[in-house]
């Protein structure tokens, strides 16, 4: 991958780049994300604002990539066995420097939650390194590096969680090879409510349950919903978002793996949600709503359902994060 600067990607001036290159340490917020957004299976995702990992990336005199601290969950310290480390190593191989990088991970997103835990780690390491190097790579190139780390966790290369974490807002992965990512508008009053049941669904199991073939009738319905949803995002048409947030291909199968899914969806829609679907391969479930008030009502309605199940769960309400990964103090 060639090393070059793209002036439009991070909008930094020469003076800002000079100051960045003088930094030796940076602290970042790497956000959670929702992928497989209803009819946008494997290509559409959006970025959350209320939950994410914090990471510290610093330059060190010793060459190489090293993970020095992990808090929150038990993850490997060996760079080649850690999602953040693999992404960082992919980027490190593309540069020629006489120093290395050390990474601290403060993990707030539970691995296997279905809201982009591995993507947050993969994105955080390459974003932090890029900042300390003076931003030589654009966001698409950073996504390409991060894909290598994501593949460690999911056993395949995909970018539907990585793209919204890096670009912010809603993103569409047009293709993986060559990698092409499209940024989509995010309606200003759109909020997400997330429930994360404390159960584990293996991605391999969630993949295996999917049908190998679909009927033409189902495919046409899915295409119509997806095209309508993209148009609705561009026009901030909340009524059309509501009509389009339907998945007739994947949800009928994967929802069987999530306890009480239908009850959650019914309660969310009754509380005013525009639509509800499975986040990633589960077990998290997302609902989109117009306005914070309705999003909170949806949270209360889902909480009432799940509090009777005996299954532990977490809830999040978040505005759509249009910035993506960012530097924090």
Report pLDDT digits (tens) over 283-315.
999 999 999 999 999 999 999 999 999 999 999
Contact 51, 137 (CB under 8 A): no
Comparing 8 with 122, the larger pLDDT belongs to: 122
The pLDDT tens digits for 199-216 are: 988 777 788 889 999 999
Helix boundaries (H) for 133-247 = 139-154, 162-167, 203-208, 216-235, 238-244
CA–CA separation, 280 and 112 (whole Å): 10
As a whole number, mean pLDDT of residues 242-271 equals 96
Q: Which of 203, 266, 303, 322 is catalytic?
A: 203
pLDDT for 12 equals: 52
Phi, psi torsion values for 132, nearest 5 degrees:
-70, -20
Tens of pLDDT, residues 82-138: 999 999 999 999 999 999 999 999 999 888 888 988 899 999 999 999 999 999 999
Rounded Cα distance between 155 and 157, Å, is 7
DSSP element (H, E) containing 30: strand 25-37
Confidence of residue 59 (pLDDT cuts 50, 70, 90): very high
CB 171 within 8 A of CB 36: no
pLDDT tens for each residue of 125-178? 999 999 999 999 999 999 999 999 887 776 677 788 999 999 999 999 999 989
* pLDDT surpasses 70 at 1: no
Catalytic residue among 102, 104, 131, 150: 150
Based on the residue annotation, tell me whether 213 is a catalytic residue of this protein: no
Provide the pLDDT for residue 229: 98
pLDDT of residue 101: 97
Instruction: Tell me the pLDDT band of 76, cut-offs 50, 70 and 90.
Output: confident
- Enter the tokens of residue 33: 């994300």
Is the pLDDT score of 2 beyond 60? no
Which of 38-42, 233-237, 251-255 tops mean pLDDT?
233-237
| 196 pLDDT higher than 80 | yes
Q: How confident is the model at residue 77 (pLDDT cuts 50, 70, 90)?
A: confident
Report percent pLDDT > 90 for the chain: 79
What is the rounded (10 degree) CA torsion for 263, 268, 269, 275?
-110
Q: Could you tell me which CATH class the domain 190-319 is placed in?
A: alpha beta
The CATH T-level fold of domain 7-184 is Ribosomal Protein S5; domain 2 (3.30.230)
- The ranges assigned to domains in the chain are 7-184, 190-319
Confidence (pLDDT) at 149: 86
> Quick one: pLDDT at residue 241?
98
150 in catalytic set: yes
What confidence tier does 11 reach under pLDDT thresholds 50, 70, 90?
Answer: low
For tokens 């997330």, the residue is 194
Q: What is the pLDDT of residue 329?
A: 72
Does an H or E element contain 327, and which?
strand 326-327
CA distance 246 to 177: 28
* Nearest residue to 41 via CA among 172, 169, 139, 145: 172
């Amino acid at each position: 991958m060639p090393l070059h600067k793209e002036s439009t990607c991070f909008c930094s001036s020469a003076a800002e780049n000079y100051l960045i290159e003088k930094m030796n340490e940076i602290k970042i917020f790497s956000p959670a994300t929702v992928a497989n957004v209803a009819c946008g299976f494997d290509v559409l995702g959006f970025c959350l604002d209320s939950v994410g990992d914090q990471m510290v990336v610093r330059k060190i005199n010793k060459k190489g990539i090293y993970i020095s601290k992990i808090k929150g969950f038990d993850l490997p310290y060996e760079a080649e066995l850690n999602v953040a480390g693999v992404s960082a190593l992919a980027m490190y191989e593309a540069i020629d420097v006489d120093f290395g990088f050390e990474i601290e991970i403060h993990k707030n997103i539970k691995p296997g939650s279905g809201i982009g835990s591995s993507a947050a780690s993969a994105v955080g390491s390459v974003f932090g390194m890029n900042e300390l190097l003076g931003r030589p790579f654009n966001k698409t190139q950073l996504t390409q590096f991060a894909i290598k780390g994501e593949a460690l966790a999911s056993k395949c290369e995909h970018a539907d969680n990585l793209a919204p974490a890096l670009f912010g807002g809603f993103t569409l992965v047009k293709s993986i090879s060559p990698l092409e990512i499209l940024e989509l508008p995010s309606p200003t009053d759109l909020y997400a409510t997330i429930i994360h049941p404390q159960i584990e669904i293996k991605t391999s199991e969630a993949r295996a349950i999917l049908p190998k073939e679909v009927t033409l009738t189902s495919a046409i319905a899915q295409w119509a919903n997806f095209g309508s949803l993209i148009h609705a995002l561009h026009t901030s048409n909340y009524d059309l978002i509501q009509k389009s947030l339907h998945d007739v291909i994947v949800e009928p199968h994967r929802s069987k793996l999530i306890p009480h899914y239908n009850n959650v969806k019914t309660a969310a829609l009754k509380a005013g949600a525009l639509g509800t679907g499975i986040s990633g391969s589960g077990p998290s479930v997302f609902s989109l709503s117009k306005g914070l008030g309705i999003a909170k009502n949806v949270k209360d309605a889902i909480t009432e359902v799940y509090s009777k199940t005996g299954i532990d769960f977490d809830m999040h309400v978040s505005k759509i994060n249009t910035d993506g990964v960012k530097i924090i103090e």
